[in-house]
Amino acid sequence: MKKLVPESFNEYLNEDKIKGGKGDKLISKDVCPNQLAIGKKVEKEHTSDNATAIEIALDHLAENPKYYSSLVENGMVDEDDAIKEYVKHFGDKKLPKKYQKVKESLNESKEIFYVKRTSGGEYSVETQNGNVEFEGRAEHILPFLTKVGDISVIEAKALLNKLNQGARYTTLLIDRSRFRLLR
């Protein structure tokens, strides 16, 4: 019986599951992470194995680096999870009308909140009615914004930077259901 040592485990993880694909020489870091995230959701149609879904996605991305965003924008994707992933990374401006129901379901539990810089140098997240839902320093609000606002750390830092440069407030669409989970 073969012993599983770190080297053989790494070989297993990097094993080419589908021989002959155009992406055989690619790894996840070689492609746009947003495209790969959408691709993984699309390719789940063919397999329940994450590694195989990623390998199929890498094959497509080797041919066209924007393969999955163009599939969605041309209305050729049937997986709601993939469409939601697209909206998360690219917004819904280029989303075909065909996906209107998915788009509506994304916005059902979302509300507009205002992110402001307070006089004490902290930040606050307020509802449209002026209720303060969260207040804290940058290191506390960053994780809050990324979890509840469903934005990346880079986007959250850019949002705070905008406030630091003198903007009175900025708006953020926040999913109320995720908000409740954090409380």
Q: Which two tokens stand for residue 177?
A: 């259901």
Task: Average the pLDDT over 99-119 and give the result.
Answer: 77
Q: Which two tokens stand for residue 173?
A: 């669409």
Residue from 4, 82, 90 nearest 39 by CA: 82
- pLDDT over threshold 80, residue 29: yes
C-alpha–C-alpha distance, residues 164 and 83, integer Å: 34
- pLDDT over threshold 70, residue 26: yes
Q: Which two tokens stand for residue 182?
A: 């954090």
Q: What is the pLDDT of residue 125?
A: 86
Per-residue model confidence as pLDDT tens digits over 60-76: 999 999 999 999 999 99
Task: Average the pLDDT over 143-158 and give the result.
Answer: 79
| Domain chopping of the chain, boundaries | 17-106, 109-182
Specify the higher pLDDT residue, 134 or 37: 37
Q: What is the pLDDT of residue 109?
A: 60
